[in-house]
Chain A
């Protein structure tokens, strides 16, 4: 965690101006201003995203890649323009490397089934880490079950950090793929993925990064990272739900068979043989989430337009403040204390179950996530059934964090 005093900030981040661009942040919940601290589950959308979807629905909707009529051409142009923005957003080499999917979960399943399943042999290994989201565990368990390959799990320490040497020690001649989170959704840990990817590459191991929790917080350059696959979801980066992206290195994507068959992924079909379409369409069977893709494009525009360095500094300051005020609360334990952390705090309060805490905070208009965060192995590691998690975005304020701390104190009094 970076310790940044307010006075040191080179450019003041105008959080009020940013908040005005998100209509929902003006609403009241139970008579109190909404304090939305559940961005790790799903972030809110700026008006520009809502407007882009609305404009498409009102004026341009038709199926894409099919019609010669005006609306179909307009819809196709809008959807494909969103893909071009995503190329820029993660610095892919070309639009062939940006596959639209339903979200991070589908992206990982696609790689497990289309890339890994055909090449895995009994005794081969898939390496992941202990802090993964279920979406980066279960697809690999499934493909291991189908092929006889083995799932190997690299440990984390009591801070919730994953260390390079511990991961590298488990990279064996049988390791076919290494998959890990860029940022842990349950703990906030930022993993040392540059070094992990480099170590995997040096051993000829394919790499997949689950970037769902990273893209809203930091700029990602897939060429600089050097990973083979990078997966993320629209709705965690201020776009609509039901759409996401699999970035894949073109050479690998070319070598992979299609995952699902149907329309849009073909060039020609006879009952004897089908000729598959070129990238990226080979992996995009069926009519996609067109409005979602267009909305995601608008979310990328929003982020590219934002001063992301200033936003990151603001988020670091929010994390610093939250850590400080929550640490002062007796009986509160912060779960996940990695030195490099994204802007979220998972915590447990002795005597107050997270679920009760969530209800009490909601009465104060404060939205947090409570539960196992789809990371049950992480909860087992810390011997907790659940935690409360406050996850911040650049539009959150210090005052909202103070309200969170006051709400936690109130809950402690109720259960004292």
Chain B
């Protein structure tokens, strides 16, 4: 396993210049994710238009994998419905944890995260933002949500 397979150009690029980074006011949902193992923290904010994610932004601090994953996620789910975004979450989860899973076509650029599964200690870095998003989407009242943690 080469380190370049983990830190692919797409990952490095999204770490250097995270997309959809910053505050989103007013937001329909705001959820904080926390990885107590490494101290990574991020906040995901959503605007919903009926069942569609009309806008999404994140902020916080984390490692390259966590930052790039969140940046890629915001690009991937913007304009999608709640169900589509949750389905994508399942595909990403498979990609990160299941060696046998071929990268699904619908993943697009998110397939760049496939190198992470060779580094079990780093899977949580990549999945933190997704768990945070899923928590916001699954809640009936996203304004009163607990902090999500990876533990």
B12, B61, B122: the one within 8 Å of A414 (CB): B12
Chain B residues with CB under 8 Å of A376's CB are 39
- CB pair A370 B38 closer than 8 Å: yes
A371 touching B37, Cβ below 8 Å: yes
Answer yes or no: B131 CB below 8 A from chain A CBs: no
- In the complex, whether B129 has a CB less than 8 A from a CB of chain A is no
| Contact between chains at B38 and A356 (CB < 8 Å) | no
Residues in A neighbouring B66, C-beta threshold 8 A: 355
Task: Give the distance to chain B from A38, nearest Cβ to Cβ, in Å.
Answer: 13
Q: Which residues of A contact B6 (CB under 8 A)?
A: 359
Chain A residues closer than 8 Å to B38, beta-carbon distance: 354-355, 370-372, 385-386
Identify which of residues 378-416 in chain A touch chain B, using a CB-to-CB cut-off of 8 Å. 379, 385-386, 414-415
Contact, CB under 8 Å: A414 / B41: no
How large, as a class, is the contact surface on chain A? 10 to 19
Q: Does A360 contact B (CB under 8 A)?
A: yes
Residues of B within 8 A of A355 (CB): 38, 40, 62-63, 65-66, 122, 125
CB distance from B106 to the nearest CB of A (A): 28
Judged by a CB distance under 8 angstroms, whether A353 is at the interface is: yes
A353 and B64 contacting across the interface, CB-CB below 8 Å: yes
B100 within 8 A of A: no
Number of contact residues on B: which range applies? 20 to 34
Partner of A363, one of B3, B16, B37, B41: B3
Q: Are A371 and B39 in contact (CB under 8 A)?
A: yes
B43 contacts A by Cβ under 8 Å: no
Contact between chains at A386 and B39 (CB < 8 Å): yes
**Which of B3, B16, B37, B63 is in CB contact (< 8 Å) with A353?**
B63
A414 vs B6: C-alpha distance in the bound complex, in angstroms? Answer: 11
With beta carbons under 8 angstroms apart, the residue of A360, A363, A385 that contacts B61 is: A385
Q: How many Å from the CB of A28 to the closest CB on chain B?
A: 15
A134 to chain B, nearest CB (A): 11
CB distance from A30 to the nearest CB of B (A): 8
Query: Interface readout for B49-75 with A: 1 if CB under 8 Å, 0 if not?
Result: 000000000000111111000000000
Give the residues in chain A near B30, CB-CB below 8 Å: none
Q: Are A385 and B64 in contact (CB under 8 A)?
A: no
Within 8 A of B (CB), among A354-372: 354-356, 359-360, 363, 370-372
Chain A residue with Cβ nearest B36: A372
Q: Which residues of A contact B3 (CB under 8 A)?
A: 359-360, 363, 414
| B7 interfacial by beta-carbon distance below 8 Å | yes
Known: A370-B38, A385-B41. A415 touches B15 (CB 8 A): yes
Mask: chain A, 238-272; 1 = CB below 8 Å from B; 0 = not:
00000000000000000000000000000000000
Scan residues 96-151 of chain B and give those whose CB is less than 8 A from a CB of chain A. 119, 121-122, 125
Cβ contacts A to B, 15 pairs, < 8 Å: A354-B38, A355-B38, A355-B40, A355-B62, A359-B6, A359-B119, A359-B121, A379-B39, A385-B39, A385-B40, A385-B41, A385-B61, A414-B12, A415-B12, A415-B15
4 closest residue pairs by CB, A with B = A353-B63, A355-B63, A385-B39, A372-B39
